[in-house]
């Protein structure tokens, strides 16, 4: 992007990402083409040598090593996050794995928030453990507990800017300072917030990851992940991802860039609707608790208000009190107009059930310890009219309460 874009608003910069690489004569396509090829041809061996030895920055070799669509995606997310470099991956989990393995090796130690996505917990304590990397899970909103968990061999402190599914909001600047003193890399999964609402690099994060299937893509049409940060760290992450084959396809990269172009507009609507729905649900007698960082009842409300100046996003959770009530609600919600779908961040409102989806791999005791109860429903608030979203929720809650499922 031109240097002048640095002074432009976020929505403007997002709309202009993915500047076309291809030209036809004196003209360029407004939308970058999809480079649906697995391999590139060369004029001679010298050109191949140039690629392998880093003397050629404008050519490509093989899809596992990247193509123009993945480069456009990497540059777009890095620019919007305020980072120097980025690398695309096959999924959000691949991006996290690549970032962690860029730093940690056998004998090293990782400290991670106990509230992170269940799949990340499994990665840390199962797959990384098999490689000789030990993990301590800790309550990241408790700074003293984080300090106490650090060891001389701690290489990474990993958290989510807004946790899945209870929207815990750790103090990122304070955690960045703790990681810096420990000479550990501060890793932040920013999927729930997106750079439209929060840019962790500006708060001290060394590496920021995203699941592209969520807010960046925004339409449930593409899967992938991305990690952004300093060039040296990202180069190491790229090496790890290339070696294990954690490659994103050209179509997924292209679709993600198209989604990013409307990110500013979408996140504005998600945030407005999320707050309206959270406030309304908090007034209902048939809901025992609502988790949304924009509510004064949220345990991290003070920190959230300091960090989130553009809204709190479209994710919230609410507790209906029991497994039976949750199952009744989920049995009714589809007919009321909102899909029960174990993902999030589509333009359309969806619901999920963390105890049986995202956090299924955790034991009942582990889920209970972090507040993922059997009555907890996660709601991804879309961009529809908030009155329509609330009407659909009311129909499902009323049907569940009366036993009509």
Mean pLDDT rounded to a whole number for the chain = 94
CB 201 within 8 A of CB 208: yes
Contacts of 9 (CB under 8 A, 6+ apart): 264
Hey, what's the torsion of the CAs at 341, 375, 398, 312, to 10 degrees?
-60
Are 84 and 216 part of one and the same domain? yes
Residue 123 burial class via C-beta count within 10 angstroms: exposed 0-12, middle 13-18, buried 19 and up: buried
* Letter string b/e over residues 241-261, b meaning 16 or more CB atoms within 10 A of that residue's CB: bbeeebbbbbebbbbbbbbbb
What is the pTM for the complete model shown? 0.95
What CA–CA distance (Å, rounded) separates 143 from 245? Answer: 37
Same domain, 280 and 251: no
List residues with catalytic annotation.
64, 117, 189, 214
- Token pair, residue 96, equals 């996290």
pLDDT tens track for 8-26: 999 999 999 987 676 777 8
Q: 129 and 49 in one domain? A: yes
For 30-53, the pLDDT digits (tens) are 888 999 999 999 999 999 999 999
Token duo for residue 260: 């990013």
C-alpha separations of 235 from 61, 98, 228, 310 in Å: 17, 10, 10, 32
Over range 286-297, report the average pLDDT.
97
Residues 296 and 255 grouped into a single domain? no
- Asked if 106 and 245 count as a contact pair (C-beta separation under 8 A), the reply is no
Q: In the predicted model, is pLDDT for residue 87 greater than 50?
A: yes
What tens digit of pLDDT does each residue of 233-265 get? 999 999 999 999 999 999 999 999 999 999 999
Burial of 138 (0-12, 13-18, 19+ CB in 10 A): buried
Q: Which stretch of 67-76, 98-107, 144-153, 396-405 has the lowest confidence by average pLDDT?
A: 396-405
Of 227, 223, 231, 135, residue with least CA distance to 189: 227
Which candidate, 395, 324, 382, 319, places its Cα nearest to that of 354? 319
> Is there a single domain that holds both residue 278 and residue 188?
no
Residue/partner pairs of 128-131 with CB below 8 Å, 24 or more apart: 128/100, 128/104, 131/105, 131/106
Q: Domain with 380 in it: what CATH number?
A: 3.90.1150.10
Same domain, yes or no: 166 and 313: no
Sheet containing 85-89: give its strands across: 85-89, 225-229, 207-211, 185-189, 154-160, 109-113, 134-138
- Strand 85-89 relative to strand 185-189, pairing: unpaired
Residues 238 and 385 in one domain: no
| Cα–Cα distance for residue pair 126/89, rounded to 1 Å | 21
Same-domain status, 218 and 270: no
pLDDT at residue 26, as a whole number: 80
Average pLDDT rounded to a whole number, residues 352-376: 91
Overall average pLDDT of the 283-312 stretch: 97
Mean pLDDT is lowest, of 23-32, 78-87, 193-202, for: 23-32
Task: Read off the DSSP letter of residue 148.
Answer: H
268 confidence band (pLDDT: 50, 70, 90): very high
Is the domain of 118 the same as that of 254?
yes
Q: What is the pLDDT of residue 385?
A: 98
User: Phi, psi at residue 382, to the nearest 5°?
Assistant: -85, -160
**Structural domain harbouring 291:** 263-402
Q: Which CATH number goes with the domain that contains 221?
A: 3.40.640.10
* Residue from 368, 388, 383, 393 nearest 318 by CA: 393
**Is 181:134 a contact under the CB 8 Å cutoff?**
no
Let me know whether 166 and 32 are in one domain: yes
- Cα separation of 345 and 379, whole Å? 10
CB of 142 closer than 8 Å to CB of 96: no
Indicate the pLDDT class of residue 403, thresholds 50, 70 and 90: low
- Domain final residue, candidates 260, 290, 318: 260
CA distance 384 to 353: 21
Pair (316, 218) in one structural domain: no
Domain end residue (candidates: 260, 291, 318): 260
Examine the domain organization and report whether 83 and 118 are in the same domain. Answer: yes
Distance (Å) of CA 274 to CA 26, 314, 316, 354: 46, 4, 7, 19
| Helix (H) or strand (E) segment spanning residue 269 | helix 263-282
Last residue of a domain, one of 216, 239, 260: 260
Closest Cα partner for 158 from 195, 196, 119, 184? 184
Answer whether residue 405 shows pLDDT above 50: no
In total, how many domains does the chain have?
Answer: 2
pLDDT band at 6 (very low <50, low <70, confident <90, very high): low
pLDDT at 54 over 90: no
Strand partners, 380: 315, 350
d(CA 157, CA 112): 6
């Amino acid at each position: 992007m031109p240097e002048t874009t640095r002074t432009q608003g976020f929505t403007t910069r997002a709309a202009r990402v993915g500047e076309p690489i291809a030209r036809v004569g004196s003209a360029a396509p407004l939308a970058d083409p999809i480079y649906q090829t697995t391999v590139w041809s060369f004029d001679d061996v010298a050109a191949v040598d140039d690629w392998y030895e880093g003397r050629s920055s404008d050519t490509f070799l093989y899809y596992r090593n990247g193509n123009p669509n993945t480069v456009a995606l990497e540059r777009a997310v890095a620019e919007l996050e305020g980072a120097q470099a980025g690398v695309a991956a096959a999924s959000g989990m691949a991006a996290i794995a690549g970032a962690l393995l860029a730093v940690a090796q056998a004998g090293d130690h990782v400290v991670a928030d106990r509230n992170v996505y269940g799949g990340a917990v499994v990665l840390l304590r199962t797959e990384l453990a098999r490689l000789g990397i030990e993990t301590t899970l800790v309550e990241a909103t408790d700074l003293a507990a984080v300090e106490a968990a650090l060891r001389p061999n701690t290489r990474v402190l990993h958290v989510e800017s807004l946790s899945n599914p209870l929207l815990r909001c750790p103090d990122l600047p304070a955690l960045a300072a703790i990681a810096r003193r420990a000479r550990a890399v501060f890793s932040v999964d920013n999927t729930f917030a997106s750079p439209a609402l929060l840019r962790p690099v500006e708060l001290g994060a060394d590496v920021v990851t995203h699941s592209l299937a969520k807010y960046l893509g925004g339409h449930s049409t593409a899967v992938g992940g991305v990690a952004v940060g300093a060039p040296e760290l990202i180069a190491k992450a790229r090496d790890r991802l290339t070696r294990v084959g954690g490659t994103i396809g050209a179509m997924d990269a292209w679709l993600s860039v198209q989604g990013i172009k409307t990110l500013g507009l979408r996140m504005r609507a998600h945030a407005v609707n999320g707050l309206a729905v959270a406030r309304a649900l908090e007034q209902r007698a048939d809901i025992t608790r609502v988790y949304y960082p924009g509510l004064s009842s949220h345990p991290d409300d003070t920190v959230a208000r300091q960090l989130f100046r553009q809204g709190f996003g479209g994710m919230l959770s609410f507790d209906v009190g029991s497994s039976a009530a949750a199952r009744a609600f989920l049995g009714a919600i589809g007919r009321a107009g909102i899909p029960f779908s174990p993902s999030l961040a589509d333009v359309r409102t969806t619901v999920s059930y963390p105890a049986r989806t995202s956090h299924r791999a955790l034991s009942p005791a582990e889920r209970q310890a972090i507040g993922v109860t059997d009555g907890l429903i996660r709601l991804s608030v879309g961009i529809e009219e908030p009155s329509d979203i609330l009407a659909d929720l009311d129909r499902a809650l009323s049907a569940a309460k009366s036993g009509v499922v």
